[in-house]
Structure 1
Amino acid sequence: MPYKPDDYRHVNYLWEDDVADQLSPVENLVYRSNKLGEDQRITNTGGGNTSAKIMEADPLTGESVEVLWVKGSGGDLRTSTKENFSSLYEDKLKALDDVYQNYEDKGYKSAGEDRMVGMFKHCNFCLNPRASSIDTPLHSMIDEKHVDHLHPNAVISIASCKDQERLTELVWGGKLLYVPWMRPGWEAAKECENIYAANPEAWGILLGQHGHTNWSSESKSCYETSLWVIETAARFIEEHDKGEVTFGGQKYQSLADDKRTQLLRDFLPVARGLVSSKVKFIGTVQTDEATLRFVNSVDAPRLAELGTSCPDHFLRTKIKPLYVDFDPQNDSYEQLVENFKAGLEKYRADYAAYYEQCSNADSPAMRDPSPTVVLIPGVGMIAWGKNKSESRVTAEFYNCAIEVMRGAEAVSEYTALPAQEAFDIEYWALEEAKLQRMPPEKTLARDVVVVIGAGDGIGKATAMRVAKEGAHVVCADIGLEKAEQTAKELTDIYGQGIGVSGSGISACGPAIAAQVDITNRQSVQDMFTQVILAYGGIDKVIVTAGVFIAEGDDFDRNDKIFEKSFDVNVKGGYVVGSEAQTIWQKQNLPGAMVLTTSVNAAVSKKGSLAYDTSKSAANHLVRELAVTLSPLVNVNGLAPATVVQGSSMFPRDRVISSLSKYDLPFDESESTEALRDKLASFYAQRTLTKQPITPDDQAEAAYLLVSGQLSKTTGQVISVDGGLHEAFLR
């Protein structure tokens, strides 16, 4: 019988009667799904399905009909709402069996399987637009009101053993039936229906290499049965745990934290450049204890070569990871790079051979043969994806694969799916169709863009603009709190992405904050280290940080102003560019850099000698860096005019001073923004366009310079000043 709520050790019992009892049947299904999804030990991100058969009023006839509500394609149990569930007429679903049997190319590998998915929409209840999952027939054919289909690590461990059928009886005492591996779909559902009908006292079915399905007449008891299945498997594995000799015992020692950080800072850009031979990837590093125990073990090379077992895993991790031959105590960094290059070449050759061996005339074209998971003894795991969310989930899934291998090796011997079965899943026509339906990627979707000065003004507007185009944004500023606020605003808009933090997986999403003083090389190095560990490298760097200090008649004070102005406005850009150069060279991927200068660089004015001269030097720094960083990196400048709105260079006292200087009427009681608007309007009248210049205007130009649309432009300074004829080129 299921355990008491307080007895669970390997899963969390989260059901609350006082909440669940107040919900409608569909809301109760969503509640059950969310509670199952909250615990990562129960199912993978985006994996698993739950269902309930509910009596509903037919919108056409008003008659009471049975409707299958089942989690649809995509989405995640933890975050699913009613909108993530398909609803289908149960009688129409069952009637589709005749359609399936009439297909000439029968069998679970047949094209008939794929055609059946297209038939599901003819069964939709109330025109529900949610696409149905491939597991829909499984939930329909099990003649119970509530069904859960999950992929817990502990259960997959048993399902991946060489003697999985024997262990099914041993572990669950006959309460779980057994079905060997079958590709999900109609034929697999029929097999489960038959074995369920022949064993009405059973609680569920173990699906070989896959997971489990269980059922009940009540939602709560279905939830509790799911937990019982997982807890029972986990306890069995715990009883057989091999302790220090897990994975054959330890072979390598982990590097100390500081040495690992330095190695990753050097290696990640190299690795990113090499794996990004077709398209760029974003990285996630995982260095938790469980990952290190695996990569440092005797058996890691053997098990890694076998590959993953559960289809949910290898759709993210590919059929196997790249295990790098590296002795962390004796091999040099240079040796690691050479071994990685050799391993990568062999991996790609192996993948191409796998494709040639398993493909047929109708198979989709071979996808990028680069690995999505890289394992390095003493260091940990590096996962790659098209964005941070995907790489985080890839890391999470291989972490699950490690736990599956640990459990399987504890109780028996781990086995992976045969190559052909794995290929049929990876290159499944339905999976290919799903990929083809994905919307086009945004301009900066695979880019890491570092915006320095992102705490306010032009920098903040630029961070917002590049994030809109899909960039992973590093919001860097000398004021960490301001940088964190910008990063938080971006995360609130674009979300953290699916996946979970913790367990050594870096928790960053589409934006992170970093503190940096660009006049201090060590500070810049530390900032770039943070960026590399978060994403794997950099692509674009936009420097909007600058300083303006009003001058007077005090020469000593003006000397200090001169030093400060050149330190920030010139040296700072040089320090950032020279540090970024080492990363770009290691990646060997095209990059772009933008320095913010000023139209004052071309217009002489009284009272801003240090500022104007430093900006003139910054203009030439743009040209020098363009030469230095070519041909890999384009370097251009952005020259704003007086951007008053939201600028830290225009604090209230400077705005009031300027209004007084130009005899513009104002009231001390007016807000700072109102005073800034008055000054901006005055400045606008001095331009040809007669319009105030805003941070968004500058951000648009900065985005244009890093977007790739001006890929043949470098060493140029673009003025965004509303049309100041005094700044025209001479």
Structure 2
Amino acid sequence: MPDFKHVNYSWDEEHAAKLDAVERLVYRSNLLGGDQRVTNTGGGNTSSKLTEADPLTGEEVEVLWVKGSGGDLRTAKRENFSSLYQEKLIALQGVYAARAETGLKSPAEDEMVGMYTHTTFNLNPRASSIDTPLHSFLPGKHVDHMHPNAIIAIAASKRCEALTQEIFGGEMAYVPWMRPGFELGLAMQEIAKLHPGVQAIMMGQHGFISWDDDDQVCYRKTLEWIEKAAAYIEDKYQAKGGDATVFGGSKYQTLPETERHAILSAVLPWLRGQVSQQKRFIGTVQDDEKILRFVNSQDAPRLSELGTSCPDHFLRTKIKPLYVDWNPQAEDLASLKAKLATGLEQYRADYADYYHSCKHHNSPAMRDPNPTVVLIPGLGMIAWGKDKSESRVTAEFYNCAVEVMRGAEAIDEYISLPQQEAFDIEYWLLEEAKLQRMPAEKELARQVVVVIGAGSGIGKETAHRLVKDGAHLVCVDLNAEAAQATASEISQRYGVGIGVAGTGVSNCGPATSFAANITDRASIRAMLDQVALAYGGFDHICVTAGIFVPSDTTGHIPDEKWALTFAINVTGSYLVGDEAGKTWRDQGLRGNLVLTTSANAAVAKKGSLAYDTSKAAANHLVRELAMELSPLVRVNGVAPATVVQGSAMFPRDRVIGSLAKYGIPYQDDEATESLVSKLAQFYADRTLTKNPITPADQAEAYFLLVTERLSKTTGQVITVDGGLHEAFLR
């Protein structure tokens, strides 16, 4: 096995020997994509030219299998690869030549992408990548196009061509920056013809491509090129002083973790509101040693202003990040907010200037001018995206950009892509068409919902209901393990999302969990601050936590049980609303608070004195909080009737007690499920609809109230009681 220091060699020949030719391509791709030092998430592509039987003629033909548009090498499967007749792809060169003669190369480039469908082999529906010509026109049977940080550091250096010669000694050729597509493929084809001994090409400000006629050798050589580049960079880096002098040395110092997180949790919701003026964003915070080393450095202002170089990077991170020159040792939170506000205003103006100075007559409309990456000395990096997965990938890509800058500065001088070239990638009509083809966002996309009481019953069901429509879920419960179990179920079902793991304080996916005691204001505040660190803020809160303490056989309830009932069912909801209100006002985005009351709030019942009166108070709390939190936050309630099935408030002993109280026959050794079913049906028979009420019925009401479907409704309580006529208002 080859000895590598800067990449992982993971090829298992015994395993590969069991795979067919396409499966070997998938295997190679997964190995390359699984090492972020080789390529970034969604970046790069691989191919194999294979001999297959034509489905119509039965004749053997050469077929190019290449990673299709929008795929990710780490997770790619067979269906993520396009299959195209190689002969027909080569024939398209004549078509391109005829169209490019007009001098309008860009339209011809775009038209060629549409022509790839005419070369499809065996009706494969996978859309082809714009990089398809690069793979088709090179002579190797197997081709790897990667975006390693070490290679891009050379590609983004001022002396890229000379460095390529110096490092690789003529074994790797060089092509200056060209937008991916047909013209670049033809340029590479010419290089391969002129230099038949070359099996790799450095792509200026982009990455590199390499090839071989043996797939295992191709994989190994790809790693060897990266290893050689990384070793060269590290030697130069250490010769310049290494970590002590990187990025010109430190200008600011990192704040201690506790202080750092306190400032971040305070500023994040406000910042989320500022960048979410057009559409809401979900945040990812990164505050590990490497990113702090960069944001604290002398060179961070200069390098961040240059922006990123590789097209894959700035499609996520925009043309540049927002760097805030804030002194963590001498300035406070108010100063940070003021500098962020000024910086955001200038950033939007700069982005508008960039758009208007570079746009073409047919360019798409200007996109959201807010930054997707914010760099703050002493604190770290905040990345924004439409969901947690995208913000994590944005963070990953800027990490790559930082590593590229580190390497380029160690060996030469870092340069960025010219603005016009960057614009032509960002606003490429083909890229716009891809965006337009994306499915519509779900109803609760881009929104964070905190469900308190998510460990069981109605809360658990509500969490599962909301995530189906795109919400990010924060599962909160007094029982930390129960909350974690619900969050884990959601993450396993809906995926943790792609992106770099372990990115500082917000390493979570579509759901996360926290423990909190809603009778303790400090516990609530700590939980909401953790939510800010996890997602940047929150939009809605559903309080489903509650307690039922029955009177004893004499009809008496102890004072401490009375106090506990009101503390959880009334005071807890007030404390949640009061603390959340501070964050909502700071964030400035509209939200919803949904409390849980009960049909018992309107119906007096023997044996539930404390519960019934607490729920009557909760009914009025809904109205009072609606007044207090308006106009920014709508406050409504859900009033269930007795929910027995799936409710944590009905353990076996309470079910048996209720059956005995109502004279419903049962056996002492009867299964709990049977006992629950009997009691649920008894309660259902007292309603107009005669059907047992389930947690799923309640969850639908919470869903309705956190969406915009009832956007003009506040201060109201929706009953989900099956038609309990005793609870009709009178």
Scaled to the shorter chain, the TM-score interval is over 0.9
Q: CA RMSD in A?
A: 1.2
Is residue 2:148 matched to residue 1:152?
yes
- Partner SS for 1:220: helix
- How far apart, CA to CA, are the structure 2 residues paired with 1:41 and 1:558? 64
Return the alpha-carbon distance in structure 1 between the equivalents of residues 619 and 715 of structure 2. 9
Q: Name the structure 2 match of 1:617.
A: 617
* Structure 1 counterpart of 2:223: 227
Over residues 357-389 of structure 1, what are the superposed CA-to-partner deviations in whole Å (9 max), with x where a residue is unaligned?
000110000000000000001110000001100
Shift of 1:97: 0.7
Task: Tell me, yes or no, if the aligned pair for 1:551 and 1:561 is still in contact at 8 Å.
Answer: no
Give 2:212's match in structure 1, choosing from 209, 213, 216: 216
Which segment is superposed worse, 146-155 or 17-26? 17-26
| SS in structure 2 of the partner of residue 87 of structure 1 | strand
1:677 match: 677
Unaligned runs of 5+ in 2: none
Helix, strand or coil at the partner of 2:637: strand
Q: 1:343 — aligned with what? A: 343
CA contact (8 A) 2:323 2:376 kept: yes
Residues 660-669 or 234-243, more deviating: 660-669
CA distance in 2 between counterparts of 1:108 and 1:256 reads: 56
**1:28-74 Cα shifts (integer Å, max 9, x gaps):** 01000000111111101011100000000111011111000001011
For residues 504 and 562 of structure 1, the distance between their equivalents in structure 2, rounded to whole angstroms, comes to: 43
> Alpha-carbon deviation of 1:555?
8.5
**Residue 130 (structure 2) pairs with residue 134 (structure 1):** yes
The C-alpha deviation readout for 1:99-144, integer Å capped at 9, x for no partner, is 1111156568511101111110111111000000000010000011
Instruction: Assess if the C-alpha contact under 8 Å between 1:395 and 1:505 holds in 2.
Output: no
Write out aligned runs for 1:505-520 (5 A).
506-520=506-520
Residues 20-35 of structure 1: pairs in structure 2 closer than 5 A: 20-35=16-31
Greater shift, 256-265 or 97-106, is seen at: 97-106
2:711 aligns to what? 711
Distance 1:65 1:302, change over 3 A: same
Asked if the contact 1:108/1:186 (under 8 Å) is kept, the reply is no
Cα distance in 2 between the residues matched to 1:480 and 1:118: 53
Alignment map for 1:252-267 (pairs within 5 Å): 252-267=252-267
Rounded to whole Å, the distance in 1 between the matches of 2:613 and 2:607 is 12
Matched, 1:176 2:172: yes
Counterpart secondary structure, 1:240: helix
Residue of structure 2 in register with 1:635 after alignment: 635
Match of 1:185 among 158, 181, 186: 181
Q: Under a length normalisation based on structure 1, what TM-score does the superposition of the two structures give? A: 0.98
Look up the match of 2:42: 46
**Alignment partner of 1:94 out of 87, 90, 104:** 90
1:490 aligns with 2:494: no
**1:459 matched to which residue of 2?**
459
CA distances 1:597-655 after superposition (whole Å, capped 9, x unpaired): 10101100110000001111111111111111011000001000001110011001111
Change in 2 beyond 3 A, CA 1:717/1:105? farther
Q: For the residues of structure 2 that align with 1:217 and 1:76, how far apart are their CA atoms? A: 24
For residues 110 and 555 of structure 1, the distance between their equivalents in structure 2, rounded to whole angstroms, comes to 84
Choose 236-245 or 329-338, whichever is displaced more. 236-245
Q: How many Å apart are 1:319 and its aligned residue?
A: 0.4
Hey, what does 2:139 align to over in structure 1?
143
Cα shift at 1:554: 6.6
- For the 8 Å contact 2:461–2:699, the answer to whether it is kept is yes
1:333 counterpart residue number: 333
Per-residue CA shift, 1:673-716, capped at 9, x if unaligned? 22111111111110011111111110001110110111111111
Among 39, 49, 53, the alignment partner of 1:57 is: 53
User: TM-score, normalized by length of structure 2?
Assistant: 0.98
| 2:600 matched residue in structure 1 | 600
- AA partner of residue 583 (structure 1): T
Q: CA deviation at 1:666?
A: 2.1
Alignment partner of 1:12 is 2:38: no
SS of residue paired to 1:360: coil
What is the match of residue 407 of structure 2? 407
| Aligned twin of 2:191 | 195
Superposed, 1:427-576 pairs within 5 Å as 427-504=427-504, 506-552=506-552, 558-576=558-576
Q: Using the TM superposition, give the Cα deviation of residue 670 of structure 1 relative to its aligned residue in structure 2, in angstroms.
A: 3.0
The percentage of counterpart residues that share the same residue type is: 63
Aligned-partner residue type, residue 411 of structure 1: I
Q: Is the 8 A contact 1:445 1:471 kept in 2?
A: yes
Partner of 2:79: 83
Instruction: Please tell me whether the aligned partners of residues 66 and 90 of structure 1 are also in contact (alpha carbons under 8 angstroms).
Output: yes
CA contact (8 A) 1:590 1:633 kept: yes
Matched residue, 1:313: 313
Alignment deviations for residues 253-277 of structure 1 (CA, whole Å, 9 cap, x no partner): 0111011111011100010000111
CA distance in 2 between counterparts of 1:212 and 1:668 reads 74
In structure 2, the residue matched to 1:366 is 366
- Structural mapping, 1:646-725, within 5 Å: 646-725=646-725
* Structure 1 runs of 4+ with >4 Å offset: 104-109, 553-557
Report the residue type matching 1:719 in the other structure. T
| Helix, strand or coil at the partner of 2:196 | coil
Deviation at 1:725, TM superposition (A): 1.0
Superposed CA offset, 1:410-439 (max 9, x none): 000000000000000000001000000011
Whether the 8 Å contact between 1:144 and 1:215 is mirrored in structure 2 is yes
Partner AA of 1:484 in structure 2: Q
Residues 291, 380 of structure 1: 8 Å contact kept = yes
C-alpha contact (below 8 Å) 2:550/2:557 kept by paired residues: no
Q: What is the number of residues matched between the two proteins?
A: 726
Q: Shift of the alpha carbon at 1:526? A: 1.7
Which has the higher mean CA deviation after the structures are superposed, 529-538 or 102-111? 102-111
Partner Cα separation in structure 2 for residue 514 and residue 373 of structure 1: 27
Amino acid at match of 2:716: Q
The AA in structure 1 aligned to 2:225 is: V
Deviation of 1:507 after TM superposition, in Å, equals 2.0
